[in-house]
Chain A
Amino acid sequence: MSSTTIQIISRSKYYNWLVKNLFSSWVNTILTVIALIFVYQVGSFFLNWAIFDADFRYNFQGELIIDRGFCSKNIMPGEYGACWAIIFARWNQFMYGLYPIEEAWRVNLIYALLPLAIIGILFDKIPFRRYFIYFTFIFPFLAYFMLYGGPGLSVVGTNKWGGLLVTLFLGVTGIGLAFPLSILLALGRRSKMPIIKSLCVVFIEFIRGVPLITLLFTANVMLPLFLPDGVNPDNLLRALVAVTLFQSAYMAEAIRGGLQAIPRGQVEAAQSLGLSYWQTTRKIVLPQALKIAIPPIVNTCIGLFKDTSLVLIIGLFDLLGIGRAALADMTWTKLYYEVYVFISLVFFIFCFGMSRYSLYLEKKLKTDNS
């Protein structure tokens, strides 16, 4: 008896929601119907193309697809959808670039350990968090050793790195290095010491006044011209420096916004309790400022992650670059949609993940009544 009542109530709740949000007036009803038709059309077209009419590894005749000539859509034009075989054939390149395939387990290991390395700093209510944090600090050295090589492991130069490896390397390392730097810059910009303040202002404004492409070019092309013969800092390292500087300037401004939102009275209260500048900053100002700054910080992180694809211009094969190289191979040329849709999907997964995390953090840290 009671379960039926609940069912009725919940059904009517559902019904009420529909009426209230989608069919409240004639205009709304028409708009809803149009929107549904639109979603259905686009959605069914895309799903047919991407899944139901698509080739994965085998074409409609059951043959393994080894070049674009085997794609169903190229055998019977207009009848079939995507030909994802290019992604399968080039999967290793999308994941590791031109990294020697017998050494790819090293990259896989680092991919597997990456979540463990960042989980400690992302979530505070996990067991053994302290050990995760320790691991976070060991991880960069471990990753460098595993990826680049050293005693016991063959050296794999960064010119062999590519695909998701380069995208993640630039994104994660750039954000990781830029974060502490940007806090210092933001504090420096708010400092009362004129030299520090003006240095920070000049740095931030200069970097923010220049497009990332220009920085990449400067780092990649100008730098070696001024260095003595034989001193050629690594190509990827140069890009990393440019990306880090760029990100730190933007993040510093996001954090400064948070700092400025802290009422002056809080600092004064802390000082009257006898706290030093660093104590005040660390215990009173920064925790609140960073909380306010979460949305803009994540915003710049997502922006940076996508901007890493600009390194294509200086000849690094990031995810997008390796995709284009695949398209330049006569075996697979012209499968643009497949490659770009796949790359978009990978970028989307990472960026959406970052965005959801920021939402989670905002909710968790929400302490005011609004």
Chain B
Amino acid sequence: MTKIKSLFISLVLTLGVSTAIAGSHGSTHDLVKERGKLMCGSNTGLAGFGAPNDAGVWEGIDVDVCRAVAAAVFGDASKVEYVPTTSKVRFTVLQSGEIDMLSRNTTWTLSRDVDLGLEFVGVNYYDGQGFMVNKSLGVSSAMELDGASVCIQVGTTTEMNLADFFKANDMSYESVPVETNSEADAAYTAGRCDVYTTDASGLYASRAGYPDPSAHVVLPEIVSKEPLGPAVRHGDSEWADIVRWSLNAMIIGEELGITSANVDEMKSSKNPEVLRLLGVDAGYGAMLGLSDDWAYNILSQVGNYSESFEKHIGPNTPINIQRGLNALYKDGGILYAPPFR
């Protein structure tokens, strides 16, 4: 009997230890370098943020963060493998070490940052949840939505915000659960629900594709803060630093007016911060364990934040999103990166 007991205990211990080992990964940076490519968790397809184009090449502003990290680590922005993740599996895929970083419109919240063992390294898009309804409903405010049916993507913060908003305002709603954003959009278009709610960026993107965009109205209430950003695993601060500063380099690049077009001329700039960023003044790459031209590679191959924004979701794209909150702090937005020194 005692034998069986000790056997059982040792079995439990072995399992526990092996899980603990599986939990503590080696240095992600070394792992990535050894592998020769970055594994990046992407969307299964969200217009402007991350989706494969007709040629099968991934594009979007979330995808650009992955490309920036690859440019910093390898000097080659194309050395990325994209792992499409759904909203339900994205965190486990990151925790299990299948991907090195997650960049797929994921909201930075306390519980995800702390409880799920993730580390959000910054914000690449400030979003907020809104509501879209058909104009024929005659609704002009979200406060008039009592009793409406709402298409909602399950397992997202959107679902919780919706419940909170309706509860706080003493209203009821009927939820129509769907799996993906495109399904929610299709359900709303087909009239299966009165209200389509998701982050405002998504609403504008969907509306842009309707045959008659003016028949739909995005209500003025924005009911949540949705800072979307890339995340890595807890416990590997060196790797988190690399991802964080790759994103920051894009933002600082915009601040200093460095674009993919003028990056070579800027190397002879007089501004010391530009010289530090582009690696003319050596030493900053080594702090991150990277080569000195890491930020130069990002800006020349991926471009600065503004270039990425304008190319994928800006006013000249069908998605047509204004910079708004996502403008630099000096242009009236809240996009702000710590100084490069």
Q: Is B22 touching A229 in the complex (CB atoms < 8 A)?
A: yes
Kindly provide the distance from the CB of A158 to the nearest chain B CB, expressed in whole angstroms: 11
How many of chain B's residues touch chain A, expressed as a range?
A: 35 or more
Contacts of B89 in A (CB 8 A): 217, 220-221, 313-315
Q: Does A344 interact with chain B (Cβ within 8 Å)?
A: no
Write the chain A residue with the least CB distance to B318: A330
Contact A329 B52, CB 8 Å, known A314-B89, A317-B84: yes
**Is the pair A225, B96 in contact by a Cβ cutoff of 8 Å?**
yes
- In the complex where A221-B93, A221-B96, A321-B44 touch, is A329 in contact with B180 (Cβ < 8 A)? no
Identify which of A68, A220, A224, A329 gathers the most chain B CB atoms within 10 Å of its CB: A329
Determine the distance from Cα of A217 to Cα of B212 in the docked complex, in whole angstroms. Answer: 39
Q: Does A121 contact B (CB under 8 A)?
A: no
Residue-wise interface mask of A (76-97) relative to B, using a CB-CB cutoff of 8 A (1 in contact, 0 not): 0100000000000110110001
- Supposing A329-B45, A329-B52 touch, asked if A334 and B209 sit within 8 A by C-beta, the answer is yes
Report the minimal beta-carbon distance from A322 to chain B, rounded to whole angstroms: 8
Contacts of A68 in B (CB 8 A): 209
Residues in chain B near residue A314, CB distance under 8 A: 86, 89
Nearest Cβ in chain B — how far from A335, in angstroms?
A: 9
Complex: chain A residue closest to B26, CB-CB: A229
A228 in the interface (beta carbon within 8 A): yes
Tell me, yes or no, whether A39 is within 8 Å of chain B by CB: no
Which among A77, A226, A327 is the interface contact of B19 at CB below 8 angstroms? A226
Task: Say whether, besides A77-B211, A331-B54, A315 and B93 are in contact (CB < 8 Å).
Answer: yes
Number of interface residues of A (CB under 8 A): 42
What's the nearest-Cβ distance from chain B to residue A128, in Å?
Answer: 40
Q: Which residue of B has the minimal Cβ distance to A335?
A: B209
Output the least CB separation between B191 and chain A (Å): 13
Say whether B247 faces chain A, with CB atoms less than 8 Å apart.
no
Residue in chain A with minimal CB distance to B181: A328
Question: B177 an interface residue at 8 Å Cβ cutoff?
Answer: no
Say yes or no: is A101 at the interface (Cβ < 8 Å to chain B): yes
Is there contact, CB below 8 Å, between B98 and A232?
A: yes
The binding surface of chain A is classed by DSSP as: helix
Task: Give the CA-CA distance A65 to B220 in the complex, in Å.
Answer: 36
Given A93-B52, A328-B45, residue A313 in contact with residue B96 (CB < 8 A): no
A89–B89 CA distance with the chains assembled, in angstroms: 30
In the complex, how many angstroms separate the beta carbon of A209 from the nearest chain B beta carbon? Answer: 22
A71 to B212, CA, bound (A): 15
CA distance A158 to B337 in the complex (A): 38
- Number of cross-chain contacts by CB at 8 Å: 119
Taking a contact as CB atoms closer than 8 A, the residue among A317, A324, A331 that contacts B53 in the complex is A331
State which of A89, A217, A232, A312 has its C-beta within 8 Å of the C-beta of B54.
A89
Say if the beta carbon of A349 comes within 8 Å of chain B. no
Residue of B nearest to A220 (CB): B89
Contact check, A325 vs B51: say whether CB atoms are below 8 A apart: yes
B317 contacts A315, C-beta separation under 8 Å: no
Q: Say yes or no for B319: interface residue by CB 8 A criterion.
A: yes
Which residues of chain A have C-beta atoms less than 8 A from B19's C-beta?
A: 225-226
**Closest A residue by C-beta to B21:** A228
Interface string of B4-43 (1 = CB under 8 A from A): 0000000000010011011001100000000000000001
Of A74, A220, A226, A321, the residue contacting B211 (CB under 8 A) is: A74
Interface set, chain A 304-324, CB cutoff 8 A to B: 312-317, 321, 324
**Is A98 located at the chain interface by the 8 A CB criterion?**
yes
Interface residue from B92, B179, B183, B212 paired with A221 (Cβ < 8 Å) = B92
Residues of B contacting A316 in the complex (Cβ-Cβ under 8 angstroms): 84
Q: Is B182 an interface residue (CB 8 A)?
A: yes
Contact check, A327 vs B182: say whether CB atoms are below 8 A apart: yes
User: Is B46 within 8 A of A328, CB to CB?
Assistant: yes
Are A330 and B47 in contact, with the CB atoms below 8 A?
A: yes
Q: Which residues of B contact A6 (CB under 8 A)?
A: none
Interface-centre pick from B44, B89, B97 (highest chain A CB count, 10 A): B44
- Per-residue CB contact flags for chain B residues 86-112 toward chain A (1 = under 8 Å, else 0) read 101100110111100000000000000
CB B313 to nearest CB in A, in angstroms, measures 9
Are A325 and B209 closer than 8 Å at their CB atoms? no
Name which residue of chain B comes closest to A332, CB basis.
B54
Residues of B within 8 A of A97 (CB): 56
Q: Does B266 touch A at the CB level, under 8 Å?
A: no
Rank and list the top 9 A-B pairs by shortest CB-CB distance, nearest first. Answer: A328-B45, A224-B96, A325-B45, A221-B92, A334-B209, A315-B84, A330-B47, A333-B209, A98-B56
List residues of chain A with CB under 8 Å of any chain B CB.
Answer: 68, 74, 77, 89-90, 92-93, 97-98, 101, 157, 159, 217, 220-221, 224-230, 232, 235, 312-317, 321, 324-331, 333-334, 336
- A selection of 16 A-B contacts at a CB cut-off of 8 Å is A77-B211, A157-B81, A221-B93, A224-B98, A225-B95, A229-B97, A230-B97, A232-B98, A315-B44, A330-B205, A330-B208, A331-B53, A333-B209, A334-B189, A334-B209, A336-B189
